[in-house]
């Protein structure tokens, strides 16, 4: 938006002065990338937010007493959806940037640092990750919270999501190693009753598990027992560490047992057999890719399985995974996947005269928005700027130095933009970032808490 700080502050004050259910905000004159196949890209158009939802999208909207926001020179996009991040690790960011082996990550982080986390460390790491997600335009984040050592650890992780105002998915799993109360998965019933009693709220609950017992034993491995827990609670399942032959064999067993389907997300999915992919596609199972994690750390084949997913009829979501080694933002995931897939497509047919099968920038933006929402079970709620969905909206500055002039809006979002270009973020109609600044955060206090938590974790011997 073109308003200076003073004018922008006045507009924000107008918006926040009204009770949330009475708010009406009209963004005018924008290029709107709806990611709704029926609406497409709209030029010089308006978007009306009423309460927590999108009321209308189109040219020259009549919005009466709505607070008007000049959005000329911007691109409006759905908020990004992160389908898998271990948020509690955020105070350990980039502590092992060149890790090249899954075992090294497991030994240092899951068998080491994780064992000394207190509930307050869970809260601080998860809150830091969620605020950073909002700053970078991620309005929905699935927190694969696999350090639930006590009920208090789980509560702290959930409350961190609540306190940031992100659309959060708390995927709960017990820890891999060290002492813990062994309250999981039984504690999911308490968590649901305490925090997830409504279907119309920002937070949702999922059960998290591992694909096999190779890393941490059978208690954390997905199978009929954990599927039954999720079914009884009416929640989805996210399964991590889905790699190679052992996971492929497990997927075929799950298909036989009838415990695959749209409510189950398989994470990574690298090095799987064609038979496993066929079972996933036939059952409508969803997939969360982690492009930088697979390629940088070298998970199984180290190749993000986008071609395999598409061949099986699955349009995947995208995820950040572990900030101990990886970038925190969705722009990096989209660009990495876009480049890796197109490189492989060209290499596969080089010298043959055949046409490479490349994905596009629209594909990866679809993965980062609508397909991510579908992967998290939230495509009826978010993922596109469709009237009736919740108002999870990004306002991206298209005339900033690194983006001007605006030519292709999807290309600008995927290949040109980063967190500095995201002027405004709305989650459920609430303004979470404005004029380039995340709101309602005491940054010096947060910095002190993050540093103190990191020092505790690094200086306490592993339990």
Q: Which two tokens stand for residue 209?
A: 């598990």
Report the CATH number that the domain containing residue 146 is assigned in CATH.
3.20.20.140
Residues 6+ apart with CB under 8 A from 315: 309, 366, 367, 371, 374
In a shared domain, residues 84 and 74: no
Are both 155 and 272 inside the same structural domain?
A: yes
Same domain? For 349 and 391 the reply is: no
**DSSP code for 64:** T
Q: Are residues 161 and 52 in the same domain?
A: no
315 & 332 share domain: yes
Within a domain: residue 452? Answer: no
Site of tokens 């279907």 = 199
Tell me: do 248 and 331 sit in the same domain. Answer: yes
Q: Do residues 365 and 334 make contact, with C-beta atoms less than 8 angstroms apart?
A: yes
Is the residue at 354 inside a domain?
Answer: yes
Does 255 lie in the same domain as 189? yes
In the chain, the number of structural domains is 2
Are 50 and 169 members of one domain? no
Residues 127, 272: one domain?
yes
Is residue 152 located within the same domain as residue 179? yes
Q: Residue 334 and residue 320: Cα distance in Å, rounded?
A: 10
Residues 386 and 244 in one domain: no
Residues 320 and 416 grouped into a single domain: no
Identify whether 275 is part of a domain. yes
Coil, helix or strand for 276?
Answer: helix
Yes or no: say if 185 and 207 are a contact pair by the CB < 8 Å rule. yes
The answer to the question of residue 446 being in a domain is no
Within-domain flag for 133:
yes
259 inside domain = yes
pLDDT for 254-273, tens place per residue? Answer: 999 999 999 999 999 999 99
Cα–Cα distance, 320 to 133 (Å, whole number): 10
Any domain includes 356:
yes
pLDDT in tens, the chain (463 residues): 444 454 688 999 999 999 999 999 999 999 999 999 999 999 999 999 999 999 999 999 988 899 999 999 999 999 999 999 999 999 999 999 999 889 999 999 999 999 999 999 999 999 999 999 999 999 999 999 999 999 999 999 999 999 999 999 999 999 999 999 999 999 999 999 999 999 899 999 999 999 999 887 899 999 999 999 999 999 999 999 999 999 999 999 999 999 999 999 999 999 999 999 999 999 999 999 999 999 999 999 999 999 999 999 999 999 999 999 999 999 999 999 999 999 999 999 999 999 999 999 999 999 999 999 999 999 999 999 999 999 999 999 999 999 999 999 999 999 999 999 999 999 999 999 999 999 999 999 999 999 999 999 999 999 8
Q: Could you tell me which residues come within 8 angstroms of residue 397 by beta carbon, excluding any fewer than 6 positions away? A: 1, 73, 74, 403, 421, 422, 423
Range of the domain at 179: 80-375
Tokens representing residue 306 in the block: 């986008």
Q: Would 462 be classed as within a structural domain?
A: no
Three-class HEC string of 103-141: HHHHHHHHCCHHHHCCHHHHHHHHHHHHHHHHHCCEEEE
Question: Residue 425: which CATH number?
Answer: 2.30.40.10
């Amino acid at each position: 938006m073109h308003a200076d700080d003073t004018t922008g502050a006045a507009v924000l004050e107008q918006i926040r002065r009204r009770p949330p259910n009475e708010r009406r905000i009209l963004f005018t004159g924008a290029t709107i990338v709806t990611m709704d196949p029926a609406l497409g890209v709209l030029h010089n158009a308006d978007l009306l937010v009423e309460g927590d939802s999108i009321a209308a999208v189109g040219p020259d909207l009549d919005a009466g007493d709505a607070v008007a926001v000049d959005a000329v020179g911007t691109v409006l996009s759905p908020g990004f959806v992160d389908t898998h991040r271990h948020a509690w690790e955020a105070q350990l960011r980039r502590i092992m940037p060149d890790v090249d082996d899954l075992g090294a990550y497991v030994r240092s982080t899951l068998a080491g640092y994780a064992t000394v986390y207190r509930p307050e460390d869970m809260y601080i790491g998860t809150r830091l990750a969620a605020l950073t997600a909002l700053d970078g335009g991620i309005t929905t984040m699935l927190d694969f919270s696999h350090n639930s050592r006590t009920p208090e650890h789980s509560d702290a992780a959930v409350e961190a999501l609540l306190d940031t105002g992100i659309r959060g998915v708390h995927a709960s799993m017990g820890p891999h190693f060290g002492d813990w109360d062994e309250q999981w998965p039984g504690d999911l019933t308490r968590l649901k009753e305490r925090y997830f009693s409504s279907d119309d709220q920002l937070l949702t609950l999922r059960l998290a598990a591992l694909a096999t017992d190779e890393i941490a034993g059978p208690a954390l491995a997905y199978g009929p027992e954990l599927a039954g827990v999720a079914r009884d609670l009416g929640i989805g399942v996210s399964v991590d560490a889905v790699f190679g032959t052992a996971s492929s064999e497990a997927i075929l067993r799950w298909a036989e047992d009838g415990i695959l389907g749209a409510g189950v997300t398989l994470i990574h999915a690298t090095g799987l057999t064609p038979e496993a992919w066929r079972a996933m596609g036939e059952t409508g199972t969803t997939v969360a890719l982690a492009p930088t994690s697979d390629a940088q750390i070298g998970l199984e084949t180290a190749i993000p399985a986008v071609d395999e997913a598409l061949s099986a009829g699955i349009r995947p979501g995208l995820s950040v995974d572990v900030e101990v080694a990886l970038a925190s933002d969705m722009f990096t995931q989209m660009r990495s996947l876009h480049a890796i897939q197109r490189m492989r497509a060209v290499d596969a047919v080089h010298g043959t005269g055949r046409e490479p099968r490349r994905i596009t920038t629209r594909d990866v933006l679809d993965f980062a928005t609508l397909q991510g929402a579908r992967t998290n079970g939230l495509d009826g709620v978010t993922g596109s700027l469709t009237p009736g969905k919740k108002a999870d909206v990004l306002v991206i500055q298209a005339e900033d130095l690194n983006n001007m002039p605006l030519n292709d809006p999807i290309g600008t979002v995927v290949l040109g933009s980063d967190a500095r270009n995201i002027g405004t973020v709305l989650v459920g109609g609430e303004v979470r970032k404005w004029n380039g600044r995340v709101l309602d955060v005491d940054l010096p206090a947060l910095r002190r808490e993050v540093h103190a938590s990191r020092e505790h974790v690094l200086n306490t011997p592993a339990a």
